[in-house]
Amino acid sequence: MSRLFPMTRFVRRAGKDQRGQVLVLFALAAIPMAILIGIAVDLGRAHALRQKLVHAVDAAGLAAGVSGSDDEEELTGIADDFLKANLTAGEYAQVENLQLTLTDETIHVDLDAASVPMILDLINVYRIPLGVEADIVRETKRLEVALALDNTGSMSGGGKIGALRNASSDLVNILMGDEDEHPLVRISVVPYVTTVNVKSAGYSSGWIDWDARAEHHGENFDTWSAGPARVSFDGHTYNLSNGDRMPHGALFGALGQSWKGCVEARAAPFDVTDHSPNSANPDTLFVPYFWPDEPSNGGDYHNNYLGDDSDYGSTPAEQQRNLQKYVDAFYGSLDVPSFDEWPSNTNGPNMSCARPLLPLTNNKEAILGEISAMQPWNGSGTNGAIGLSWSWRALSPSAPFTQGGDYDDPDVKKALVLMTDGENQIHGGWDSHNKSNYSGYGYLSEMRLGTNNRNTAKGRINDRMSTLCENIKAEGITIYTITFRLSSGDLKDVFRSCATYPEYYFDSTSNGELEEHFQTIAKQLTELRIAH
């Protein structure tokens, strides 16, 4: 401080001094000080500008790399357009030349630019050269992504289904760029409710338990006890004898209906694995989804499509389980109504069965088409565990779907995105003898979840989801999870734990946030690495 006081006194005296030479000396000293300050300001601005250019060049190189193109001129155009559209360095930037060089695995970006000074131009310095380089290392790995998307009835409100279509389409567009058929990216779309429709391209009837040998097949019906019956379905004839279980295929045949393609969950433990279906073990096969005709005489029943009277039983439970009405319909002694299979409200044996899943494909138009066709389906509920299991099977290299690369292939990266807007629960029918509506796990009254209490059942489905998540991650599949306008803290915890890392869980509180989160996931999946 002792040194400061003399300088302070000097400045004060200089300001009061009337002698001209003192003012001249002070003015002469101020000029170089101003120049030094100006240089510092201009150089500081140039440094800040260069940092912005570094980020802009990185982003431009990434945009070129994501395109998947191998044409150097095309990649340069993509990078240049991106740079111009996104550079926010300010009015002092002069972008002079952008060069891009392509090798087998690297995109080298070289940018010549300059900072325009404000002070240095007084001494004939009109530009401060800035050179920025970036090397974008292009991954050669293939990327396989399965989207497990909630298509339940609750998605119909508040623009939710539209937001999901937009968000999912954004992800596809980011991952696939301008490629109609991307050489390295394949995507599967899995719409789910409490079941999944598997009757899509590549479907095989060999996966299905047509002969009612699986543990839970036919559990909602009595065994046949009214004498021989002969029912046909899809080219297969069922000759039923006393004591036979009625296959669901025979029931569809009796109604003159087609099986739409939804399936029940397999018996434990196969409901939480991707074991291939094998006819030698019936429980590895999939039971065709068939929603029984429920009683029409009051009560909490939601899917009545055949007549019920005392001939079929004295109680609602007896009338629902009786097979005679289906056989009567087949032989024409009972009228069969028309069925509604158009969302969101449906009825009949295929009630609440959504669109078929789309197996892994690199066809961008097919993927976006399935996403745009998604609709909410009322009546059954939400079962994220079933949606998760079929998304896993879509990524698996083994049957039922075999489009996925091997788990141990170092050139294949697999990722799964699971999204829901509601708790895992089976809807309705709680005051009926069924204890719920029908679902991929049948009726709660059948105790397949170990309970007939709807609140306890939520926890049992959550437990299955947690087991599935661990099994999927053990195969090296990266999991992203998204809850959408959801209030349940318990389910948020399940989704957070399910994600590969806590930061791979996204809680979307609005339609806009949902789209932002899908975009974030897509950018993380680009599998590009930056080197400077």
The enclosing domain of 498 has a CATH number of 3.40.50.410
Domain that holds residue 98: 4-138
Residue 531: per-residue pLDDT: 58
- Closest by alpha carbon to 518, among 319, 373, 371, 324? 371
Coil, strand or helix: which one is 424? coil
Coil, strand or helix: which one is 129? strand
Q: Note whether 78 and 176 are same-domain residues.
A: no
C-alpha span between 421 and 487 (Å, rounded)? 9
Confidence of residue 2 (pLDDT cuts 50, 70, 90): very low
Residue 163: per-residue pLDDT: 98
Q: Note whether 75 and 176 are same-domain residues.
A: no
Coil, strand or helix: which one is 532? coil
**Could you say which of 89, 110, 138 is where a domain stops?**
138
C-alpha span between 345 and 443 (Å, rounded)? 19
Q: Indicate whether 444 belongs to any domain.
A: yes
C-alpha span between 409 and 411 (Å, rounded)? 5
Q: Note whether 497 and 427 are same-domain residues.
A: yes
CA 353 to chain centroid, in Å, comes to: 19
Domain count, the chain: 2
Residue 181: per-residue pLDDT: 95
Q: Note whether 24 and 52 are same-domain residues.
A: yes
For residue 532, is pLDDT > 70?
Answer: no
Residue 38: per-residue pLDDT: 67
pLDDT digits (tens, 9 = 90+) for 343-377: 999 999 999 999 999 999 999 999 999 999 999 99
Lowest mean pLDDT among 83-92, 239-248, 326-335, 474-483: 83-92
Q: Note whether 104 and 160 are same-domain residues.
A: no
- Closest by alpha carbon to 529, among 76, 71, 109, 58? 58
Q: Note whether 127 and 146 are same-domain residues.
A: no
Q: Note whether 124 and 168 are same-domain residues.
A: no
pLDDT digits (tens, 9 = 90+) for 125-169: 667 888 888 888 776 689 999 999 999 999 999 999 999 999 999
For residue 13, is pLDDT > 70?
Answer: no
Q: Note whether 157 and 63 are same-domain residues.
A: no
- Extract the tokens encoding 512: 């806009």
Mean pLDDT of all residues in 460-486: 97
For residue 29, is pLDDT > 50?
Answer: yes
Say whether the peptide bond before residue 432 is cis (omega within 30 degrees of 0): no
Could you tell me what percent of the chain has a pLDDT over 90?
63
pLDDT digits (tens, 9 = 90+) for 244-263: 999 999 999 999 999 999 99
Q: Note whether 455 and 519 are same-domain residues.
A: yes
Residue 10: per-residue pLDDT: 43
Mean pLDDT of all residues in 505-513: 97
For residue 529, is pLDDT > 50?
Answer: no
Mean pLDDT of all residues in 187-201: 97
Q: Indicate whether 250 belongs to any domain.
A: no
Element (H, E) at 134: strand 128-138
Say whether the peptide bond before residue 183 is cis (omega within 30 degrees of 0): no
For 74, 82, 133, 215, the CA distances from 77, given in Å and listed in that order, are 5, 8, 17, 60
- Extract the tokens encoding 418: 């699971």
For residue 57, is pLDDT > 70?
Answer: yes
Q: Which residues contact 70 (CB under 8 A, 6 or more apart)?
A: 102
Confidence of residue 115 (pLDDT cuts 50, 70, 90): confident
- Closest by alpha carbon to 439, among 497, 356, 380, 481? 380
Q: Indicate whether 270 belongs to any domain.
A: no
For residue 89, is pLDDT > 50?
Answer: no
Residue 171: HSE in the Cβ half-sphere, 13 Å Cα cutoff:
30
pLDDT digits (tens, 9 = 90+) for 252-311: 999 999 999 999 999 999 999 999 999 999 999 999 999 999 998 778 999 999 987 778
Mean pLDDT of all residues in 511-532: 83
Contacts of 485-493 spanning 24+ positions with Cβ under 8 A: 485/158, 485/160, 485/421, 485/509, 485/510, 486/420, 486/421, 486/422, 486/423, 488/423, 490/462, 491/420, 491/423, 491/424, 491/462
Q: Indicate whether 62 belongs to any domain.
A: yes
Q: Indicate whether 10 belongs to any domain.
A: yes
pLDDT digits (tens, 9 = 90+) for 319-344: 999 999 998 998 888 888 889 999 99
Q: Indicate whether 333 belongs to any domain.
A: no
Q: Note whether 521 and 395 are same-domain residues.
A: yes
Residue 120: per-residue pLDDT: 65
Q: Note whether 351 and 382 are same-domain residues.
A: yes
Question: In one letter, which amino acid is 245?
Answer: R
Q: Note whether 198 and 51 are same-domain residues.
A: no
Could you tell me what percent of the chain has a pLDDT over 70?
88
SS3 content of the chain, % helix, strand, coil (to 5): 40, 20, 40
For residue 8, is pLDDT > 60?
Answer: no
Q: Which residues contact 51 (CB under 8 A, 6 or more apart)?
A: none
C-alpha span between 56 and 47 (Å, rounded)? 14
Q: Indicate whether 506 belongs to any domain.
A: yes
CA 132 to chain centroid, in Å, comes to: 37
Mean pLDDT of all residues in 57-63: 82
Question: In one letter, which amino acid is 212?
Answer: A
Say whether the peptide bond before residue 400 is cis (omega within 30 degrees of 0): yes
Q: Indicate whether 517 belongs to any domain.
A: yes
**Could you say which of 121, 138, 155 is where a domain stops?**
138
pLDDT digits (tens, 9 = 90+) for 386-405: 999 999 999 999 999 999 99
Confidence of residue 70 (pLDDT cuts 50, 70, 90): confident
Is residue 344 left, alpha or beta, with left meaning phi > 0 and alpha meaning psi from -120 to 50?
Answer: alpha
**Could you say which of 138, 161, 191 is where a domain stops?**
138
For 81, 183, 262, 388, the CA distances from 191, given in Å and listed in that order, are 36, 25, 11, 10
Higher pLDDT, residue 512 or 18:
512
pTM of the model: 0.79
3-state secondary structure 57-93: HHHHHHHHHHCCCCCHHHHHHHHHHHHHHHCCCCCCE
